[in-house]
Amino acid sequence: MKPTDSAALAELAVKAVQDLKGRDPKRLDVTELTDVMDELVIATGTSSRHVRSIAENVIAEARKAGVRPIGMEGQETGEWVLVDFGGVVVHVMGEDQRKFYALEKLWTSLPGRE
């Protein structure tokens, strides 16, 4: 996989989430909304330990494909872990955080999105 292939990396991230039984993984194409990234992957873990494990699995699977993250935040608490690969940003959240922040709604209800 090329590091610039955001679609393939997002699909890899979804599979890595599913491998650890992460709940409700979603891919959002945000290329027309921002120049910062191409895709968001959002998933839910059942506990802080599960959230951290899912994020770590996403990183491990990406590294096997030759892609390293630019950064990772939130692993200390495990309530919401963000893994930044540049073109793809992965959010693994606890159920309460996912409901509260509603990233899917935020990124699909922006002006110009029908």
Looking at the DSSP assignment, which residues form a beta bridge with residue 28? 40
pLDDT tens, residue by residue, 74-100? 999 999 999 999 999 999 999 999 999
- The domain tally of the chain equals 1
Q: Does 56 fall in a domain?
A: yes
Q: What is the mean pLDDT of residues 15-21?
A: 98
Q: Does 29 fall in a domain?
A: yes
Q: List Cα–Cα distances, 21 to 43, 46, 88, 113, in angstroms.
A: 10, 9, 20, 31
Query: pLDDT at residue 14 above 90?
Result: yes
Q: CATH number of the domain at 87, please.
A: 3.30.460.10
pLDDT tens, residue by residue, 46-77? 999 999 999 999 999 999 999 999 999 999 99
Q: Does 114 fall in a domain?
A: no
Q: Does 51 fall in a domain?
A: yes
Rounded CA-CA distance 18/9 in Å is 14
Q: Does 1 fall in a domain?
A: no
Instruction: Grade residue 111 by pLDDT with cuts at 50, 70 and 90.
Output: low
b/e sequence 34-47, b meaning 16+ C-beta within 10 Å? eeebbbbbbbbbee
Domain span including residue 37: 6-108
pTM: 0.89
